[in-house]
Amino acid sequence: MKTMKEYLKELTAIHAVSSKEDPVIEYMRNHFLEFSDEVEVDVIGNVICRISSGAPNAKKIMVFGHMDEVGFIVRNIDKNGYLYVERIGGANVNVLPGLRLDVIGEKGVVPGVAGTKSYHFLKPEEKGSFPSQDKLYIDIGVKSKEEAEKLGVKIGSWICFHADFIERDNGWITSKALDDRVACAILLQLGEHLAKNKDQLNWDVYLVACVQEEFNIRGILPAVKKIKPNVSIGLDVTPACDTPDLYGYTDVKLDGGPALTYLNFHGKGTLAGVLPDTGLIEELEKICSRESIPFQREIAVGVITENAFIVFDELGAAVANISIPARYTHTPIETISMKDVEWAEKLLYSFIIGLEKNTGFGKNYKFAK
330 is annotated as contributing to ligand binding:
yes
214 is annotated as contributing to ligand binding:
yes
Euclidean distance between CA atoms 174 and 177, whole angstroms:
10
**Is 350:292 a contact under the CB 8 Å cutoff?**
no
Catalytic pick among 21, 69, 213, 298: 213
204 is annotated as contributing to ligand binding:
no
37 is annotated as contributing to ligand binding:
no
3-state SS track over the chain: CCCHHHHHHHHHCCCCECCCCHHHHHHHHHHHCCCCCCEEECCCCCEEEEECCCCCCCCEEEEEEECCECEEEEEEECCCCCEEEEEECCCCHHHCCCCEEEEEECCEEEEEEECCCCHHHCCHHHCCCCCCHHHCCEECCCCCHHHHHHCCCCCCCEEEECCCCEECCCCEEEECCHHHHHHHHHHHHHHHHHHHCHHHCCCEEEEEEECCHHHHCCCCHHHHHHHCCCEEEEEEEEECCCCCCCCCCCCCCCCCCCEEEEEEECCCCCCCEECCCHHHHHHHHHHHHHCCCCCEEEEEECCCCCHHHHCCCCCCCEEEEEEEEEECCCCCCEEEEHHHHHHHHHHHHHHHHCCCCCCCCCHHHHHHC
* 213 annotated active-site: yes
66 is annotated as contributing to ligand binding:
yes
Known binding site for Zn(2+): residues? 66, 179, 214, 236, 330
Binding residues: 66, 179, 214, 236, 330
Catalytic residues, which ones?
213
